[in-house]
Structure 1
Amino acid sequence: MIAAYVSHKAPPGRPESPLFTWCFAGMIFVALVLLLPIFSDACGDPPRFETMRLQGAPKPNYSPGETIHYECRLGFQPMAPPLPPSAVCQDDNTWSPLQEACTRKLCPNLGDPVNGQVNYVNGSTMFGSQAHYFCNEGFYMIGSRILYCEISGNNVIWGDNPPLCERILCATPRNITNGRITNYKDEYEYNEIVTYSCNPSDGPDEYSLVGESVLVCVDSDRWSSDSPQCKVVKCEYPVVEHGKMVSGFRKKFYYKSQVAFECNQGFYLHGSNTIVCGANSTWEPKIPMCTKAYPSPSDELQPEHFEDLGIILVINNPAL
Structure 2
Amino acid sequence: MNCVHALGDFQYNSSCSFHCEEGFILNGANTVLCNALGEWTVPVPTCAAVACEILQRPSYGRMNCVHALGDFQYNSSCSFHCEEDFILNGANTVLCNALGEWTFPTPTCAALLCEVLQRPSYGRMNCVHALGDIQYNSSCSFHCEEGFILQGSEKVLCQASGEWSDPTPTCAGN
Which TM-score band applies after superposition, normalised by the shorter structure?
Answer: 0.3 to 0.5
TM-score by length of 1: 0.28
Q: Which has the higher contact order (CA 8 A, sep 6+)?
A: 2
Kindly name which structure, 1 or 2, has the bigger radius of gyration based on alpha carbons. 1
Higher fraction of helix: 1
